Amino acid sequence: MGTIGITRRGFGAALGAAAGVVLLDTRLTPAAAEARVAAGLPRDVLQLNSNENPYGPSAAAREAMTRSQEVAARYPDYQEDEVRSALARFHGVAPEQVLLGCGSGDILRMADGAFLAPDRKVVVAEPTFEAVLAYNRVTRAQPVKVPLDASFRHDLPRMAAACDGATGLVYVCNPNNPTGTIVTGEALAAFLGRVPPSVTVLLDEAYHHFVENPGYRTGFELLAAHPNLIVVRTFSKIYGLAGMRLGYAVAAADKIEALERYASFSNTNAAVLAAGLASLADPDLVPRMKRRMNDARRWLTGQLTADGHRFIPSEANFIMIDTGRDVAPLIEAFKAKKILVGRRFPSMPTWLRVSVGTPAEMAAFVAALRDIVPVPAAA
């Protein structure tokens, strides 16, 4: 948990130092230095509500999307094969172990269709990313929600114990959205050993690239030993392609076949496939973006600590802050200042989720936070 400090850093000095993080990287073109505001919103609004990459796709990905216009009249079947093969090489698996989706949410929808039914159960943490339960409104499996542990992490022993012969799917988001916490590789391996082989484990690694904790272990290291495991990744976060929609699953071939029965025809497009290939081909893209965004996260947590705000240490590109009051009116107060922050999570009603933005955006958020949620008085 974030510790309580008794002094406040110089706001202007911190902003100047943080802003340098953005200006020093000359490998991004001016056009790619910052993602634009979504259509329909005021140009000066700050979007800190959806855990996106504020810098957008790389220059190479943008150029690839522009060139994709040359094949816009053709269905992207061959490009899909090329991306699947590239991902298979990237992860050291066979192409038939890879399935593409219109964002990783599309993969979660397929998993519900493939492994859930009214006579089945789906086990999830509470709170976690809601898509699996949202899609379950169609499949109508019985939801089993297991509260997070005292450290705001998945309670994997309780989740494993909740899995039985009627369980079709157990969903683990690692790092977890909205808390930003992780389960360690050791805990994940033990969990997979306890879950019945008949239960499909859906491991969502959307925020994998931001993790710095050395105890973390990706599910790709555990796939061979656990054929009931499906690992899900996305190009929406660190690759900056949230608006273009590309995600994928990697699993044993029979699991991919089961998911594929619920896939839409041509659920990708030529532009995002080209951008995905360009992103994978840039070995410096992930470490560069990870450094920029994690530096901004560290600056924010330093300000929160100095101000005495309680927060959950995060391994993702967002932070949960305990405001001590219901966040619904606070979300509106930030909106009045043209800052969009995360939604209210019913099981954590006093906790405000804010996405990591540029250093300037983080400074603007801190200034607004100090106005909307005054700093606790020093003891």
Please determine whether the domains at 11-57+284-372 and 61-280 fall in the same fold group of CATH: no
Residues comprising the chain, all counted: 379
Long-range contacts of 258-262 (CB under 8 A, 24+ apart): 258/114, 258/115, 259/99, 259/107, 259/110, 259/111, 259/114, 259/230, 260/99, 260/110, 261/113, 261/114, 262/109, 262/110, 262/113, 262/114
Give me 303's structure tokens: 């300000």
Mean pLDDT across the chain: 91
- Tell which residue, 191, 208, 196, 146, has the closest CA to residue 167: 196
Q: How far apart are CA 267 and CA 277, in angstroms?
A: 16
pTM, full prediction? 0.90
Q: Say whether pLDDT at 23 is over 50.
A: no
User: Worst-scoring range by mean pLDDT, 26-30, 150-154, 166-170?
Assistant: 26-30
Task: Give the C-alpha distances (Å, rounded to integers) separating 32 from 18, 29, 58, 60.
Answer: 19, 5, 7, 10
Q: Say whether pLDDT at 17 is over 80.
A: no
- The tens digit of pLDDT for each residue in 232-273 reads 999 999 999 999 999 999 999 999 999 999 999 999 999 999
> In terms of DSSP bridges, do strands 229-234 and 247-251 run parallel, antiparallel, or are they unpaired?
antiparallel
Specify the pLDDT at position 33.
54
Q: What percent of the chain has pLDDT over 70?
A: 90
Confidence of residue 377 (pLDDT cuts 50, 70, 90): low
Specify the pLDDT at position 114.
98
Higher-confidence position of 268 and 29: 268
Q: Say whether pLDDT at 22 is over 90.
A: no
Average pLDDT for 67-81: 95
Average pLDDT for 184-191: 98
- Give domain 11-57+284-372's CATH superfamily: Aspartate Aminotransferase, domain 1 (3.90.1150.10)
Average pLDDT for 127-134: 97
Fold (topology level) of 61-280? Aspartate Aminotransferase; domain 2 (3.40.640)
Cis ω before 175 (30° cut-off from 0): yes
Confidence of residue 3 (pLDDT cuts 50, 70, 90): very low
User: Where are the chain's structural domains?
Assistant: 11-57+284-372, 61-280
